[in-house]
Amino acid sequence: MYYQLGLIGYPIEHSMSPWLHRQFLQKSDLPGEYSLIELASEQLLAEKLQQIKHVPFDGFNVTVPYKQEIIPYLDQLDAHARAVGAVNTVVQENGQWVGYNTDGLGYTASLKQHYPAIFQKQTSRVLLIGAGGAARGIFDGLVTAGLTRIDIANRTHSRAEPIAELGDDNVHSVILTLQEAEQQLHYYDLIIQTTNVGMKPNDKTLILSLDNLREDTIVSDIVYQPIETAFLRQAKQKGAAILHGHTMLFYQALYAFELWTSEKVKTETMEQTLKTVLE
Ligand code: ATR
């Protein structure tokens, strides 16, 4: 079987996904290709999806700005994609397009790989900063992984409300302002920065100050370019452990690849190689 894979989004010319999936194909000795399908409008998305239905595409990733827009074109949605309301991976299953979301699973996998102890206590206290699509996927992933104390800090309170409601009765979530979160940072075992603040080159803006951070807190940022954001640098200076954003990028891709091919890739040094490529 020759795997026809790809990525739909805009703009995607700098995406790392082709590099990652070509590595996965090579490591698992599978023939195939991963192409970029850059679509500048939703009209083009509709037209492209019609075409794709008639060629043997095995699956594709979906990124900004189409993670929600793609949903009406799919035949089925898996439970996580439905809860999150966004799709980043589409798999062709017996002629049907099925939408998945591997962002949350990718995030928790990266956390388990680097800091497994956080999952030993269901009541580990997590602060999620931001309430966009990325925060929603990560919240769902953390709840699925069994964590029950996940607070959300966001500039706009109302955007955090539907995320806090994603958990069942066991999950306790308080919604905070960024200022409140700043003052209560010492309370948390894990802090996850999910906004795009800090993403521009040489951007020194901090979403919030880490002055009140405990030394044994894990600080994570999902921004991976720059590889070490000002937020992570400040956390390091405070003596905290950090988790870089490229780790989530790596694992969400790995799970997408597994959905398409059922292969468990031996990843070994690949995550480190990705970091070097991004640096
Ligand atoms: P994504 O889907 O990538 O998560 P998004 O849906 O645009 O992107 O969400 C961006 C997040 O970054 C939101 O939490 C947003 O806060 P608001 O909900 O208040 O808009 C946050 N964000 C972006 N720029 C920000 C800034 N300058 N200060 C504080 N928060 C910011």
| Gap from CA of 86 to ligand 1 centroid (Å) | 16
Helices 133-144 + 103-114 axis angle, to 10: 60
User: CB count, 10 Å around CB of 51?
Assistant: 10
Quick check: CB of 192 below 6 Å from ligand 1?
no
H and E: helices and strands count for the chain: 10, 12
Q: Which atom of ligand 1 is nearest to the CA of 134?
A: 4
Quick check: CB of 99 below 6 Å from ligand 1?
no
Topology, domain 3-101+249-278: Rossmann fold (3.40.50)
Residue 112 among the catalytic residues: no
| Whether residue 53 has pLDDT greater than 90 | no
Quick check: CB of 152 below 6 Å from ligand 1?
no
Residue of 48, 53, 67, 236 marked active site: 67
SS (HEC) of 156-211: CHHHHHHHHCCCCCCCECCEECHHHHHHCHHHCCEEEECCCCCCCCCCCCCCCCCC
Looking at residue 56, its pLDDT comes to: 80
pTM over 0.90: yes
| Whether residue 54 has pLDDT greater than 90 | no
Quick check: CB of 218 below 6 Å from ligand 1?
no
Q: Where are the domains of the chain?
A: 3-101+249-278, 104-244
Q: Which atom of ligand 1 is nearest to the CA of 129?
A: 14
Q: What is the ipTM of this complex?
A: 0.97
Domains 3-101+249-278 and 104-244 share a fold: yes
User: pLDDT of 7-46, one tens digit each?
Assistant: 999 999 999 999 999 999 999 999 999 999 999 999 999 9
For the segment(s) 104-244, the CATH number from 3.40.50.170, 3.40.50.2300, 3.40.640.10, 3.40.50.720 is 3.40.50.720
